[in-house]
Every structure is written in structure tokens, then in C-alpha cells.
A and B are shown apart, each in its own frame.
Chain A
């Protein structure tokens, strides 16, 4: 796909995400999609969507705002900010309802007009500080 087509695809996914249409991932992600997360975990297409649905519960009203996108014919780097209210209940945390704001940077790969790979990096430290908790010890990123 062209640079512009790839850019349009990413904006479409995030626009639909913000409307709560998570089925967009079924349409726009390749069946062999993999998401390599900052904590060392790897999610397939189904697990990734489940993770997003979990996030929607943990951070109600979650919205993602694209700050910057750098695109080639098969790759993209996506810098965005998400905001959502703290309804996080894991790790001994009591939800505060406070609005959280977290930056993330994804490295994306495209294949046959679909998104085939995410490598997700985000400000987990900033998120932990805003929550007042520390998240589970992670494996070192590679």
C-alpha cells in the first residue's frame, strides 16, 4: 500500500476505536497479527482485542489521540496519547476516577493492506506514578 493508504488505515482504526467500535480490529488486522508488548508478552489478534476490551473497563471513556505518525510503504511509527478514568482494580489499587494521561509509541508493520505487527512501548512508569501503584515486574525489552 502507499504511504497515504497506510496513514488512512491507522487514522480509521483509531477513529473507530474512539467510537467504541472494536470490531474494526477484525477488519483491519491480519489474521496472523502479533503484538509485542513492552513487558515482553506477545498477543495474537484475539488476545489483543481482549486486552483492549479489558482496558475499556479499567479506564472508562478511554480515548486515543494521535500526536504523530511516521509512515513508509510497509511500516509506521505511531505516537499517541490516551486518556481514561482510573477504574483500575488490580494489585491492591482502589480506583480513584482520576483522569489518566499516558503517551505510547508503537512500531507498526503492514501486510496486504492490513496491520500485521505492533511493537508497543509506552510510558508505563508515568502510568504507574499516576495510578499510585507499581505494575508487575517486567522482562527487559529487547
Chain B
């Protein structure tokens, strides 16, 4: 596929999640794909588990693309997610707060499927917005 087709694929995946259709995104991942997340590598099955947890906590995400850079089989992209904290997230009870998450990822796309994903999201910012981070200097 061309770099432009790869960009369209990535945008489509996030559009589907915004529309509440996360289950429809998994067909765009190769079965052997690997997600290099902040907490280590995950398989597609593990990503499904993470998505379920995340979308329970933030069930109404809307993703807006800020930037995309593509070369060869790689697409780097910046996306801003806005959502409401309506369910427990990493032990934090729902706060009802509107949150924003800066998502910065690289995807490797092979034959129309995502084969690898490197995530570098601003989890610190997200945790601060739902009051999960204690004040400065406290552990």
C-alpha cells in the first residue's frame, strides 16, 4: 500500500473508535501484530483487554488528528482524545471529569494491516486530570 493509503487506514481505525465501533478495528490488525506500550509489549488479544478497560473508564472518546508523517511502511501520528471519566481507571473511581489525552504513536503497516504499534501517550497528563497523581514531591 502507498503511504497515503497507510495514513487513511490509521485515521479510519480512530474514526471507528470515535463512533463506538472498537470491535470493528481489530480486523485491521495482523494476528501476529505487537503493541509496544508504556507497560510493555502486548498482543492483539491483550490490546482488546486494554481497550475494554479503557473504554469502560472513558466510554465516549473522540479522536482528532493533529499531525501525520509517513514514510515507507511507517506512519507517525499525533491525535488528541477527549472523553469523560465515567468508570474506574487504574484504581481511580470515576470523577465525571472531561479529559484530554495527547496520543503520539508510530504504526507499521504491512499489506493493509497494522503489524506493529509504538505508543508514547501522555499518561501523566491523563492521571493528573483525574486526580490520580498526588501533589508535587509526595510519593
Count chain A residues whose beta carbon lies closer than 8 angstroms to a beta carbon of B: 36
A124 with B76, Cβ < 8 A, contacts A105-B106, A133-B137, A137-B128 known: no
Shortest CB–CB separation between residue A81 and chain B, in angstroms? 11
* Closest chain A residue, CB of each to CB of B74: A70
The answer to whether A126 has its CB under 8 Å from any CB of chain B is: yes
Residues from chain A with a CB closer than 8 A to the CB of B70 are 70, 72
In the complex, the number of residue pairs spanning A and B with C-beta atoms less than 8 Å apart equals 105
CB pair B120 A122 closer than 8 Å: yes
Within 8 Å by CB of A141, from B122, B133, B139, lies B122
The answer to whether B80 has its CB under 8 Å from any CB of chain A is: yes
Shortest CB–CB separation between residue B19 and chain A, in angstroms? 23
The answer to whether A62 has its CB under 8 Å from any CB of chain B is: no
The answer to whether B69 has its CB under 8 Å from any CB of chain A is: yes
The answer to whether B125 has its CB under 8 Å from any CB of chain A is: yes
CB pair A70 B106 closer than 8 Å: yes
CB pair B71 A3 closer than 8 Å: yes
Residues of A at the B interface (CB closer than 8 Å) are 3, 38, 67-68, 70-72, 75-77, 79, 91-93, 103-105, 107, 119, 121-126, 128, 132-138, 140-142
